[in-house]
Amino acid sequence: MTSRILSEAREYENAAENQILPEDRPLFHLTPKIGWMNDPNGFSQYNGEYHLFYQYYPYQKKWGPMHWGHASSKDLLSWKFLPAALAPDVEADAGGCFSGSAITLDDGRHLLMYTGVVKVHDITEDLFIQTQCLAVGDGLDYVKYEGNPVLDENDIPEGLSRYDFRDPKIWREEDGTFRCVIGGCTPDPEHHGRILYFRSDDGFKWQFVSVLAENDGSLGTMWECPDFFELDGKYVLLISPQDVIQSKKYNCGNITVAMIGTFDKETGVFHKETEQLVDNGIDFYATQTLLSDDGRRIMTAWMQNWDSIVNTSRETRWFGQMVLPRELHVENGRLIQKPIREIEAARKNRVACSGLHISDVREVEGVSGRTVDLTVDIRPTGDHSFRKFEIRFAQQDDTFTSLVYRPFDRTLEFDRTYSGTRRAVIHTRKCKVADHAGCIRLRIILDRYSSEVFINDGEQTLSNVIITGQYADRISFSADGEAEIDIEKYDLCL
Ligand code: FRU
């Protein structure tokens, strides 16, 4: 039986959905049916289709009591909205259904594991007691397990806080048994994140195994939204630390970090070998991956930054979008990200030219648009070689967003200061890029409200929201000195 709270949410979103025209959403990035979206949840393949749930508050364009919105897709580009899957409607999750994940049970049912929260008032702030809950369904309707919660404060190691125990990521081992990782944290004022590892034979009864990783205080505070998987002979732990202090290595605020190393399945000990920032853009948080039926490790994330949620367009009735899903690999201890290959089928109207010499500002015939897949290879030319190369896009008159490559500094800088924003928050991000003898390859994927840059075939990425009006669709290239470039550009059409 669908609860009153869930029925109301479904009625509300159905009535509201038709009020949003398809052209007022991104072409191929998932947005909420209506209202607010944050983290991706339950990213999975079920009965041959991809399912992506999300942290959802349908009634306003701001965070509120969390529901789970729901969409499905055959190609990770065209999304079909399904009715909201979860609402805060039982004792264990009366304050909200926080982030979680999904897996298929042996009997074919879809299992959702999520954090149920119950709000309590402390003297100074609202706190949420957090426990892990289950719901079982058929890809459309989900019934909450009567044994909820299945993990609570009695299941976490001593000394960790019951107010920060969230975001279970579930998976199955080859023998059919279940595992999950969950974010934990020491209490205030220390507030250092832990990644907790649990096991289960049936997905319903869980036991704590080990602490996979812990924050010694050098990487933010709480670590949210963990994910853990084997890839290319290594193990990858993804975490989203909060409250990171700016350093040479990491951007401040909420970021996502990958730890890559080895894992002893017997003891539950993860040994980290390397660590890196996952995305260098402003808007990227709370990753979640799935292992597809064809063996790909595919990652999505919330294309947003908690600190810059004010950078939004007044006109849209939705807030929040997911990044373009990415295929992951580990090469030489680093995470490599490529746009899902399905996007190649959406590429139309190829324009290509090679050996173009760029010095002054220049536009190239046929190279414009706001739903675009553009690859630019940039090379030095010898004596008069450039110190700075700039690509401007989403451009019209004084409005533009830019990427500036400085080969001698080995930096790439994204700048959306002139993108039409009305908010005084951070609009630039700069990252160090690898040294390839002054050359760089930039693959820029534009959708109506975002730009994602894949640097040197996925060595690094930069994901950013841009709220620029769609009339701004020009793209230009310029260099101080001379650069030689090759361009390959497609319109993206679904
Ligand atoms: C991350 C997060 C999660 C939590 C959810 C609540 O963005 O804070 O830790 O489950 O959002 O909406």
Using a 6 Å cutoff on CB, does residue 401 contact ligand 1? no
CA-nearest of 212, 177, 461 to 339 is 461
Phi, psi of 204 (to 5 degrees): -115, -40
Q: Which atom of ligand 1 is nearest to the CA of 285?
A: 7
What Å distances lie between residue 48 and 31, 139, 294, 351, 408, CA to CA?
22, 11, 11, 34, 48
The structure tokens 């595992």 sit at 179
Distance separating alpha carbons of residues 73 and 52, to the nearest angstrom: 8
Distance separating alpha carbons of residues 21 and 24, to the nearest angstrom: 5
Distance separating alpha carbons of residues 206 and 330, to the nearest angstrom: 30
Distance separating alpha carbons of residues 333 and 231, to the nearest angstrom: 11
Using a 6 Å cutoff on CB, does residue 400 contact ligand 1? no
Q: Which atom of ligand 1 is nearest to the CA of 39?
A: 7
The structure tokens 């508050």 sit at 57
Low-confidence ranges of the chain (pLDDT < 70): none
Distance separating alpha carbons of residues 161 and 72, to the nearest angstrom: 35
Can you say how many angstroms the Cα of residue 15 is from the centroid of all Cα atoms in its chain?
28
DSSP 310: T
Using a 6 Å cutoff on CB, does residue 99 contact ligand 1? yes
Using a 6 Å cutoff on CB, does residue 115 contact ligand 1? yes
Neighbours of 493 (CB within 10 A): 12
Using a 6 Å cutoff on CB, does residue 343 contact ligand 1? no
- How far is the centre of ligand 1, averaged over its atoms, from the C-alpha of 286 (Å)? 8
Q: Which atom of ligand 1 is nearest to the CA of 115?
A: 10
Neighbours of 49 (CB within 10 A): 13
Name the residues annotated as catalytic.
39
DSSP 13: H
Using a 6 Å cutoff on CB, does residue 185 contact ligand 1? no
Can you say how many angstroms the Cα of residue 31 is from the centroid of all Cα atoms in its chain?
12
The answer to whether 256 and 239 have CB atoms below 8 angstroms apart is yes
The answer to whether 215 and 272 have CB atoms below 8 angstroms apart is no
- Taking the CA atoms of 424, 425, 428 and 432 in sequence, report the sign of the dihedral they define: positive
What Å distances lie between residue 207 and 18, 151, 244, 271, 471, CA to CA?
45, 9, 31, 21, 55
Question: What totals of helices (H) and strands (E) does the chain contain, helices first?
Answer: 1, 32
Can you say how many angstroms the Cα of residue 348 is from the centroid of all Cα atoms in its chain?
26
Q: Is 207 helix (H, G, I), strand (E, B) or coil?
A: strand
From 195, 225, 284, 307, the mutation candidate for ligand 1 (largest count of ligand atoms within 8 A of CB) is: 225
Using a 6 Å cutoff on CB, does residue 421 contact ligand 1? no
- How far is the centre of ligand 1, averaged over its atoms, from the C-alpha of 38 (Å)? 7
* Burial (CB count <10 Å: 0-12, 13-18, 19+), residue 21: exposed
Q: pTM of the predicted model, to two decimals?
A: 0.97
Distance separating alpha carbons of residues 239 and 261, to the nearest angstrom: 14
Distance separating alpha carbons of residues 253 and 244, to the nearest angstrom: 5
- What's the chain's Rg over C-alpha atoms? 23
Q: Which atom of ligand 1 is nearest to the CA of 222?
A: 9
- How far is the centre of ligand 1, averaged over its atoms, from the C-alpha of 296 (Å)? 26
The answer to whether 165 and 184 have CB atoms below 8 angstroms apart is yes
Q: Which atom of ligand 1 is nearest to the CA of 66?
A: 12
Given this model, what pLDDT does residue 58 score? Answer: 97
Distance separating alpha carbons of residues 444 and 376, to the nearest angstrom: 8
Distance separating alpha carbons of residues 46 and 52, to the nearest angstrom: 10
Given this model, what pLDDT does residue 121 score? Answer: 83
Can you say how many angstroms the Cα of residue 92 is from the centroid of all Cα atoms in its chain?
27
Can you say how many angstroms the Cα of residue 120 is from the centroid of all Cα atoms in its chain?
29
Given this model, what pLDDT does residue 437 score? Answer: 94
Using a 6 Å cutoff on CB, does residue 66 contact ligand 1? yes
* Burial (CB count <10 Å: 0-12, 13-18, 19+), residue 146: exposed
- Taking the CA atoms of 482, 483, 484 and 485 in sequence, report the sign of the dihedral they define: negative
**Torsion over CA of 251, 253, 258 and 264, rounded to 10 degrees?**
130
The answer to whether 466 and 321 have CB atoms below 8 angstroms apart is no
Structure-token pair, residue 412: 């790439």
Given this model, what pLDDT does residue 122 score? Answer: 78
Distance separating alpha carbons of residues 153 and 437, to the nearest angstrom: 54
Using a 6 Å cutoff on CB, does residue 39 contact ligand 1? yes
From 68, 118, 166, the mutation candidate for ligand 1 (largest count of ligand atoms within 8 A of CB) is: 166
- How far is the centre of ligand 1, averaged over its atoms, from the C-alpha of 407 (Å)? 38
Helix (H) or strand (E) holding 10: helix 4-17
Distance separating alpha carbons of residues 345 and 77, to the nearest angstrom: 10
- How far is the centre of ligand 1, averaged over its atoms, from the C-alpha of 141 (Å)? 23
Using a 6 Å cutoff on CB, does residue 225 contact ligand 1? yes
Using a 6 Å cutoff on CB, does residue 254 contact ligand 1? no
* Burial (CB count <10 Å: 0-12, 13-18, 19+), residue 191: middle
CA-nearest of 284, 244, 222 to 40 is 284
From 224, 255, 285, 288, the mutation candidate for ligand 1 (largest count of ligand atoms within 8 A of CB) is: 224
- How far is the centre of ligand 1, averaged over its atoms, from the C-alpha of 68 (Å)? 12
Structure-token pair, residue 380: 């030095």
